[in-house]
Structure 1
Amino acid sequence: MKNLSLVLLFVSASIWGQKKVDTEANKWVNNVYQSMSLDERIGQLFMVAAYSNLNEAHIQGLEKLVQEQHVGGLIFFQGGPQRQATMTNRLQSLARIPMLIGIDGEWGLSMRLDSTYRFPYNMTLGAVQNLDLIEQVGVSMAKQAKRLGMQFNFGPVVDININPKNPIIGVRSFGETREIVTERALAFMKGYQSQNVFATAKHFPGHGDTSTDSHYSLPVIDFSRDRLNRVELYPYKKLIEEGLSSVMVAHLSLPAIEPDKNIPTSLSYNVVTKLLREEMKFEGLIFTDALNMKAAANYLQPGEVDLAAFKAGNDLLLFSENVPNAVAKIKEAYANQDITEDRLAYSVKKILKYKYKTGLTSFTPVDKTNLVQDLNDSSYDDLNEKLYNEAITLLKNGHHILPIKNLEKESIAYLKLGDDSGSHFLEMLRKYTDVTEITIDDIEKAKDFSKVIIGYHKVDNPWRNHDFQALEIDAITKLAEQNKLILVSFAKAYALSGIYDFDNIDVVLQAYQNNDFAQNAVAQIIFGTLEAKGKLPVTINKEFKVNDGLKTKKLKRLGFSSLRNEGLDPLYFVKIDSIANDAIQRQYTPGIQLVVARHGNVVYQKSYGFHTYEKDIAVKDTDLFDLASLTKILATTPMVMKMVEDDKLRLNSKMGDLIPEFKGTDKKNLSLLDVLTHQARLHPWIAFYKPTLDSVQKPSKEWYSYIYSADFPTQVSEHLFIKKNYNKEILKEIASSKLGAKKEYKYSDLGFIALKGVIEKSYKSSLDQLVSKNFYKKIGASSLGYLPLQKFDSSQILPTEDDNYFRYTRVQGYVHDMTAAMEGGVAGHAGLFSNALDVTKMMQLFLNKGVYGEDQFFNEETFDTFNDCVFCKDGNRRGIGFDKQQLKGNAGPSCGCASSSSFGHTGFTGTMAWADPEEELVYVFLSNRSFPNSNENKLSKANVRENIQRLIYESILEK
């Protein structure tokens, strides 16, 4: 009973509070109304067109309407936000009673204004099944409207687009069924009105099932009353029940309601008053559609059409062609008692009450500070990303081609059709695997590929023709006959109706619009990092019908998302940019690549600086860096893990049993575990190259040749080859080196150098081929590998040093590490090259504990064993192969802010790769800080990598 009493008390208080608000509103409205002249009252009925891209004469004309005709509102059209804010402030300052400001911004302010944000078209939202996201669109649009000093955005469109040939509605509609339209319009309305900005349902009573544009002539909606109730009027009824603020009445001929077929609905008392206001009990504001549209303007002259619209029952008259004439006509009708005082007061007081509700009792100027930035806040990108991720619709998936799984078995081509760019789509596809671009002129080349992806890219404009050309349909037909074909339409859904035969097209994806968000989402669906979730909002043909939409399975590959959507604060990444740019400015390194991934999604990928300090080539995301010691965890360690699982190796194995050169030496009893955890008492490093130099410290002719031959087959650098089997000399030198006196942690390359031979002997193949076959090709890490010049041009690879002590050349595309170079560029401790994204893929594989895509590379238990800090109790922070966060009170490789389960490695050339299972976070930093010489490690001394990592952790938002 106590709880019930509290509820009743709360309800009672709420009702009392609402009554108090209503009482205060009515008091203000009545006081203002009584203070107004007749001209001022009539002026309130007009919302006139304003353009912020026109000249001073236009503004002065509006000033005259505000001062002399006392207009009640402005509807803005083309222009820009700063100019509109300036105009709003200027005109509002002249109005005795502040004006209502509105805009037709159905997919955001960008429908009308430059430099503003664009949300998806309604038909794209019609494919989205998560209605909460659509409500967020309403919230976002309302916030933007308020920021620009507006109280209305004339939406949502609730026209049900049953007619595919509708020339004016089309993608402005949510879809072709009343349920699709109503559900989304309700969500939009709730979001909008939650911000105290008014939603306007349009175009009453329904403009969807017509092939005529009311801008030019009067469309006829010749349906029975029963049909109107079931279809066109259905969404209005539902929205009115939920508190819809306003309705815009279209210019249509509706014989079932208005017997005179020549009278537009906007001028029909039967439609506006009897149907909308009385029968449907709508008490909100009623707007006409623009009165300059020919469907209305052709019926009556300016002024007369305004009078007719008001007499029909409309409250606000949009886009009057002649306000003074219209005011005079209404004033004359009032004098003749053709319009009563009660009728005038009804609309004017309603308008005033809406002004009170939105705070327009007095005018506060629009703040122009950071206006454009606020209207384009990055949070809107986060929402758009979610919307397109949900909207993309899979209509056909023959042979379950999607998602593409076995990347190592695929050869993929991409063909762009249409009149707009597909470059971002191709870039996204290439983030997953190698993709070759072909053109419509050389589709014969497609025979060489296992799959062809066609992107049909049309300019993202709702009024443009999106039909396929005959040449394009021929190309699709030909490719479908010879290839596994994936067709993606980045165009209106109806565009696919131009293709008559889908039998041989294996996969059909509908993306609705051509922009980066849609292209990102499609690429991720193709490769399985997003599930296909969208449903078709309209019928395309007999094969693809409304509500069709297949689902796909998500694979454990790296996807792509935004910082905020994965719980990271973007403001911290502004600071990260500053650190990276400062490092380049101070010449700690010429170039940097940075990737951050969270929850299995890349959220930040950026390149900084240039290949060299000459600043001739800017670093691109696809450029390759020498990874240096990251090789230990990206090549040797995973191969050792595989050997353990294949029962070819055990962690307690003795090095003397694995390496013939170690037998009979003090290295014979060293355990593999101690070697991998760097406590085997091995020297940190040996300058193996020095004994191979002559008396003037140049490569000795005994060991080197400047041309390839059978005796000198191993390439060290450009124009330098070392004697056959010199790697055995390196092993002998390791074997004869002196062990440290105490078993303790001391980082060493030597054990990893020696393990290369163990791996190659076990699998009877070279290490570079083994890691490529077993890991890199399968995960689509096409840039990651040894010997990059076999696949990439040197211009894509950052140089690491101008060597004046050994190779006497610029080291570019050849491994920087001298010992790895002497092993032909393939070593267990160094030699890998990559871009940051492909390193991130391997780190994500580890974070997934051996799983990537659908492949299980090793078991979870194996990874946990190798990631264990086995000897932490003895003061050794190392995992097995992996580096770990420094122990308390000690220096180390990371920021010290990662979890104890985190792991990674750093490299001599200024590289770092780190993953944290607890935060599901991967951080990869690549640089060529060793260029032009490696003498002083300024990057390390300034803690650049660690400081960036710390900011990443600080950016994590509270859950």
Structure 2
Amino acid sequence: MRRAAAEPRSTAKAPAFNRYLHSPWVDSVMRTLTPDQRAAQLFMVAAYSNRKRIDEDSISTLIQRYGIGGLIFFQGGPVRQAKLLNRYQSQAKVPLLVAMDGEWGVGMRLDSMVKFPYQMSLGGETDTTLLYDMGREVAYQFKRLGMHVNFAPVVDVNNNPANPVIGFRSWGENPAAVARDGRQYMRGMQDAGVLAVAKHFPGHGDVDADSHLALPTVRVDRRRLDSLELPPFRSLVAGGLGGMMVAHLNVPALDTVPGPSTLSRPIIEGLLRQEMGFKGLIFTDAMNMKGVTSMFAPGEADVRALIAGNDILEFSKNIPLALRMVRAAVDSGRLTQQEIDVHCRRVLALKQWAGLNRYRPIKLQNLYEDLNAPHAQYLSHRLTELSITLLRNQKSLLPLQRLDTLRVATLVLGSTSPDTTDFQRAVADYAPTAHFRAAATPTLDELAQLRTALKPYNLILVSLQNLGRLPATSFGITPETNLLLRELVNQRQTLVLSVFGSAYAVAKVRDLDRAAAVVLAYQESPNAQNLAAQAIFGGIGASGRLPVTVSDRYPRGFGLRTASGFRLRYANPEDVGMDPRLEARVDSLVGRALAAQAFPGGQVLIARRGTVVLRKSYGNQTYAGFESGEREARSGKSKEKDAPRSPLLTSPSVPRPVKNDDLYDLASMTKLMAATPALLKLQGQGKFSPDSAMGNYFGFLRGTNKADLKMRDVLAHQARLKAWIPFWQELRKKNGELRRRYFRADSSARFPLPVAAGLWARKDLPARIYKEIGESPLNDKPGYVYSDLSFILYPELVKARTGQTFDSYLQQQVYRPLGATTLGFRPTNRFPRKRIVPTEVDSAFRRQLLHGTVHDEGAALLGGLSGHAGLFGDANDVAKLAQTYAWGGRYGGQQLFDKTIMDEWTRCQFCPDNRRALAFDRPAANPTVNSAKSASQRSYGHTGFTGTYFWVEPEKDLVVILLTNRVHPTRRNNKLGDLSVRSSLLQLAIEAAR
């Protein structure tokens, strides 16, 4: 074999483990090992934690009988692997060196693990410090699992789109960028104590065959190798790279004798050791791959690999045979014992650097939690966010504007699962959406049905999913996919296309330039799907750049930018400078409340700077077996034949867990989520003023003691209005039964108002209630008294000023522009009952479990439509309106409320005697009543009787929301307040905001 002309010797930095080459521990171990055992230290065999006991026992035999030096783990689970590795290490005379292919972290091989993005996803990013952080976090995962070597990073320059094996595993097509990114990842791992192994030397990026299946040939000259393939390897070697993996490649420019580079002494000893000056460990690629076994049988291939200069042989097919043939090669003079000893000493030095001279078993306690720590989740999410690449954005369509003008549908191509995808669920977080799906190869009939079904929608968000990675399959882009996309474009519908696959797949979409916008997300992880939706709606800004050339129009480095902060963003506490332990602390707080039965379940949402950092549901919708409340409700049934009675809804046999999109009865939060935004809009339109009098807005109050009450006093709860009036009590008989004069079991023109399931009220009850409010006396003394009464009347004010009903006005002016799908009254008209969380077992009035009808009795008599109670919604939609308040009335590119008016409404009106703003609550003298001990005097929010809460803290730019049904099964449960759950939640958020 002939070595190419060498360049001057490199001054490469020696890896850190080299200082142990002649340490006392290495010397002592060398003395204890026989020549055969020293050779066995050079072999790493494959191990799995998802196989049968017989497979596990076969590894034990290799460890105990032959003394192999290491393991490389493949598929399985983290806890299973840790237990298995503890067993294996206990059987080893010399502790085992343990490796894994963790190119995007341990999650590449093990289930239930956080996964970092593919290298190509990250190749277009500019914040390479995060790649260093990723390396450190991956190293932490390895060390926590008792592993010491990561066969990463891939530093092959993928300049060939037809490459069947590297592709998405490469940082990209530019050698300098690949070197930069690979070096950062390497440094992060090695600084944290895990050996990085660059691969696949001398460069696997420009081949058209897979070395797992055949021996690829690199058909380029030495000059091209020096300018494109080799620079990343040189850069990492110069930076102190600890390990190098040699690929099975035929490289005529480096060795004139045909054969795999793994067995080439000119390439390994000549180029890598002498010319490049590499002083670390050299690993073969897997010795069971066709790239080597197609030319040499097991055993002979292993001997040739050692002769070539490799230190460790990975995945040898037959260890007993290989060791016998190595011994024979030494005996015959093909190998020397000195060469074996040099390799063995390097392996032992690495083991000492990795801490194996002080081996300790893996601790199993909290293993899963440690491996999926908040910082790892933050890094994975943040790296994915920065990778999202916008390739097309006609007329600045993204981020989407004016949701109230859009009829949105999602279409997933490549999925036949009946479940919605992560992308579809993320879209639904922003806007009302209809979901559709189709296989990658739909029939003509299915295509026609889809075209028809999608016609009513003016915006279609198409996601290409379940795409392939191989160029031979056009990366999963089928002719049927292209046909359907063309048909949709021809229907003149606006298409936004999201590609969850290889960057090269983009070039296979035939009518790409007829889509209004194109988002490239590179892979189909939950993070990628979620963040693509966020980019479309403006939760995040698109900032990614192509790491490879897709076409002439989309070269490497291309990527359009959009602004962030348009709508809510969904990320992690670390993204906005919050303590990553926030979730654990909230879990603890809510866990204690659940254990004390303060409420059966709930939703928590915490946002900072417009970024939702915690959105989580806890517990169940109801308690199991609350029949005692039902029996109490049954205990006063009327004996009258025609008395109106509503059915008693029974508890499900198994309580339903709370989900993020379940709806809660917001109770008095209705005042801030319905009445207040209506009044803010009216004031902005010049149709309302807090400095006017009540009589100017309510004709039926003229001539009463309320006509001259100033609205500013009314909204600040100091106008002497009564706190509330029990309207329903006078509608009962002495025995507690409801009077048929006012109620019926079925609806009709005379009884159209839904009060509860199977219970309808007379249509003139609202007028009766308004009259009673007008006739009610005022409080004797002036001062702050919280009152429902004026808020009951605001729907009439809205109708009088706009000609629209209260609910339709709110939908048109507030909820639809926000994309607040769930906010609204009478939820059973819009949502299945299973999504609506029950409240109380009402034993006094409606005598049933209240499920889908408002808890407040007064609002129920109004048919569930009032300004003081009756609104339902989930925490996510509450957050949209609360964030609009925090952003000075702006959201989604629209100024929904005038900022000056917002500022006026949220400031204290009559301090210090009255803490209230206009409608909004503010911190009480005892802050644990409604806010928190650290809440500022600029903060504001509101509570709800059913156990609901939202609070805005401008000083920390926080929005905190808690939705519960603490009144289930009875309102007599005051543990939510006794335990100060709401104020404690706000306090945790404030303390976490560093």
TM-score under structure 1 length normalisation: 0.90
Deviations 1:512-552 (A, max 9, x none): 22221111111111111011122222333444333222212
The residue identity in structure 1 corresponding to 2:424 is L
Contact 2:161 2:471 in 1 (8 A): no
1:882 corresponding residue in structure 2: 920
Q: Look up the SS of the partner of 1:281 in the other structure.
A: coil
Q: Look up the SS of the partner of 1:513 in the other structure.
A: coil
Q: Look up the SS of the partner of 2:463 in the other structure.
A: strand
**Following the alignment from structure 2 to structure 1, what is the Cα–Cα distance between the partners of residues 472 and 853?**
52
Contact 1:698 1:805 in 2 (8 A): no
For the pair 1:906 / 2:943, whether they are aligned, the reply is yes
Provide closer, same or farther for how the CA distance between residues 676 and 274 of structure 1 changes in structure 2, counting only shifts above 3 A: same
Q: Look up the SS of the partner of 2:356 in the other structure.
A: coil
Provide closer, same or farther for how the CA distance between residues 852 and 390 of structure 1 changes in structure 2, counting only shifts above 3 A: same
1:480 to 471, 476, 489: 489
Deviations 1:675-727 (A, max 9, x none): 11111111111123344445655554555566666665555555655555554
1:841 corresponding residue in structure 2: 880
The residue identity in structure 1 corresponding to 2:919 is G
Deviations 1:432-456 (A, max 9, x none): 1110123443321211101011122
Q: Look up the SS of the partner of 1:747 in the other structure.
A: coil
1:769 to 808, 823, 839: 808
Q: Look up the SS of the partner of 1:47 in the other structure.
A: strand
**Following the alignment from structure 2 to structure 1, what is the Cα–Cα distance between the partners of residues 388 and 17?**
48
Q: How far apart are 1:378 and its partner, in Å?
A: 3.9
The residue identity in structure 2 corresponding to 1:238 is S
Q: Look up the SS of the partner of 1:271 in the other structure.
A: helix
Of stretches 249-258 and 110-119 in structure 1, the one that deviates more from structure 2 is 110-119
Q: Look up the SS of the partner of 1:133 in the other structure.
A: helix
The residue identity in structure 2 corresponding to 1:873 is P
Alignment map for 1:4-15 (pairs within 5 Å): none
Deviations 1:163-206 (A, max 9, x none): 22222222222222223322221111011111121111111101
Q: Look up the SS of the partner of 2:513 in the other structure.
A: coil
1:626 corresponding residue in structure 2: 665
2:430 corresponding residue in structure 1: 432
1:922 to 946, 956, 959: 959
For the pair 1:610 / 2:618, whether they are aligned, the reply is no
Q: Look up the SS of the partner of 1:604 in the other structure.
A: strand
**Following the alignment from structure 2 to structure 1, what is the Cα–Cα distance between the partners of residues 262 and 553?**
39
The residue identity in structure 2 corresponding to 1:299 is M
1:447 corresponding residue in structure 2: 455
1:9 corresponding residue in structure 2: none
Contact 2:675 2:791 in 1 (8 A): yes
Deviations 1:368-403 (A, max 9, x none): 333344333343222211121112222222232211
Contact 1:562 1:604 in 2 (8 A): no
For the pair 1:533 / 2:543, whether they are aligned, the reply is yes
2:464 to 456, 461, 466: 456
Provide closer, same or farther for how the CA distance between residues 802 and 56 of structure 1 changes in structure 2, counting only shifts above 3 A: closer
**Following the alignment from structure 2 to structure 1, what is the Cα–Cα distance between the partners of residues 133 and 519?**
25
Q: Look up the SS of the partner of 2:814 in the other structure.
A: helix
**Following the alignment from structure 2 to structure 1, what is the Cα–Cα distance between the partners of residues 659 and 343?**
61
Deviations 1:224-266 (A, max 9, x none): 11100011101011111111111111111111111112x2211
Provide closer, same or farther for how the CA distance between residues 822 and 324 of structure 1 changes in structure 2, counting only shifts above 3 A: closer
Provide closer, same or farther for how the CA distance between residues 54 and 661 of structure 1 changes in structure 2, counting only shifts above 3 A: closer
Alignment map for 1:412-431 (pairs within 5 Å): 412-419=408-415, 422-431=420-429
Provide closer, same or farther for how the CA distance between residues 653 and 452 of structure 1 changes in structure 2, counting only shifts above 3 A: same
What stretches of structure 1 of length at least 5 have no aligned partner? 1-17
For the pair 1:351 / 2:347, whether they are aligned, the reply is yes
Provide closer, same or farther for how the CA distance between residues 424 and 344 of structure 1 changes in structure 2, counting only shifts above 3 A: closer
Provide closer, same or farther for how the CA distance between residues 654 and 193 of structure 1 changes in structure 2, counting only shifts above 3 A: same
Provide closer, same or farther for how the CA distance between residues 608 and 89 of structure 1 changes in structure 2, counting only shifts above 3 A: closer
The residue identity in structure 2 corresponding to 1:505 is A
Contact 1:97 1:362 in 2 (8 A): no
Contact 2:17 2:350 in 1 (8 A): no
Over the residues paired in the alignment, what is the CA RMSD in angstroms? 3.1
2:224 corresponding residue in structure 1: 227
1:548 corresponding residue in structure 2: 558
2:716 to 669, 674, 677: 677
The residue identity in structure 1 corresponding to 2:922 is K
Deviations 1:629-659 (A, max 9, x none): 1111112222223333333333332223333
Contact 1:656 1:668 in 2 (8 A): yes
**Following the alignment from structure 2 to structure 1, what is the Cα–Cα distance between the partners of residues 547 and 102?**
21
1:687 corresponding residue in structure 2: 726
**Following the alignment from structure 1 to structure 2, what is the Cα–Cα distance between the partners of residues 852 and 122?**
35
1:142 corresponding residue in structure 2: 139
For the pair 1:385 / 2:381, whether they are aligned, the reply is yes
Q: How far apart are 1:161 and its partner, in Å?
A: 1.8
For the pair 1:470 / 2:479, whether they are aligned, the reply is yes
The residue identity in structure 2 corresponding to 1:287 is F
Alignment map for 1:480-519 (pairs within 5 Å): 480-482=489-491, 483-519=493-529
Q: How far apart are 1:507 and its partner, in Å?
A: 1.9
Q: How far apart are 1:490 and its partner, in Å?
A: 1.8
Provide closer, same or farther for how the CA distance between residues 287 and 632 of structure 1 changes in structure 2, counting only shifts above 3 A: same
Contact 1:154 1:202 in 2 (8 A): yes
1:829 corresponding residue in structure 2: 868
Q: How far apart are 1:567 and its partner, in Å?
A: 4.6
2:606 corresponding residue in structure 1: 596
The residue identity in structure 2 corresponding to 1:349 is R
Q: Look up the SS of the partner of 2:431 in the other structure.
A: coil
**Following the alignment from structure 1 to structure 2, what is the Cα–Cα distance between the partners of residues 595 and 73?**
47
For the pair 1:399 / 2:395, whether they are aligned, the reply is yes
Q: Look up the SS of the partner of 2:514 in the other structure.
A: coil
Q: Look up the SS of the partner of 1:595 in the other structure.
A: strand
**Following the alignment from structure 1 to structure 2, what is the Cα–Cα distance between the partners of residues 710 and 72?**
85
**Following the alignment from structure 1 to structure 2, what is the Cα–Cα distance between the partners of residues 457 and 169?**
20
**Following the alignment from structure 1 to structure 2, what is the Cα–Cα distance between the partners of residues 192 and 936?**
53
Provide closer, same or farther for how the CA distance between residues 340 and 693 of structure 1 changes in structure 2, counting only shifts above 3 A: closer
2:931 to 894, 900, 903: 894
**Following the alignment from structure 1 to structure 2, what is the Cα–Cα distance between the partners of residues 795 and 362?**
56
Q: Look up the SS of the partner of 1:770 in the other structure.
A: helix
**Following the alignment from structure 2 to structure 1, what is the Cα–Cα distance between the partners of residues 159 and 236?**
20
Provide closer, same or farther for how the CA distance between residues 478 and 916 of structure 1 changes in structure 2, counting only shifts above 3 A: same
Q: Look up the SS of the partner of 1:514 in the other structure.
A: coil
Provide closer, same or farther for how the CA distance between residues 343 and 932 of structure 1 changes in structure 2, counting only shifts above 3 A: closer
**Following the alignment from structure 1 to structure 2, what is the Cα–Cα distance between the partners of residues 492 and 420?**
21
Contact 1:217 1:295 in 2 (8 A): yes
Contact 2:468 2:476 in 1 (8 A): no
**Following the alignment from structure 2 to structure 1, what is the Cα–Cα distance between the partners of residues 21 and 287?**
34
Number of residue pairs matched by the alignment: 937
Q: Look up the SS of the partner of 1:872 in the other structure.
A: coil
Provide closer, same or farther for how the CA distance between residues 527 and 98 of structure 1 changes in structure 2, counting only shifts above 3 A: same
Of stretches 291-300 and 810-819 in structure 1, the one that deviates more from structure 2 is 810-819
Deviations 1:588-647 (A, max 9, x none): 545533322222122223143125742456233323222221111112222223333333
Alignment map for 1:133-172 (pairs within 5 Å): 133-172=130-169
Provide closer, same or farther for how the CA distance between residues 241 and 436 of structure 1 changes in structure 2, counting only shifts above 3 A: same
Contact 1:593 1:608 in 2 (8 A): no
1:174 corresponding residue in structure 2: 171
Of stretches 643-652 and 690-699 in structure 1, the one that deviates more from structure 2 is 690-699
Contact 2:482 2:510 in 1 (8 A): no
Of stretches 147-156 and 495-504 in structure 1, the one that deviates more from structure 2 is 495-504
**Following the alignment from structure 1 to structure 2, what is the Cα–Cα distance between the partners of residues 701 and 115?**
59
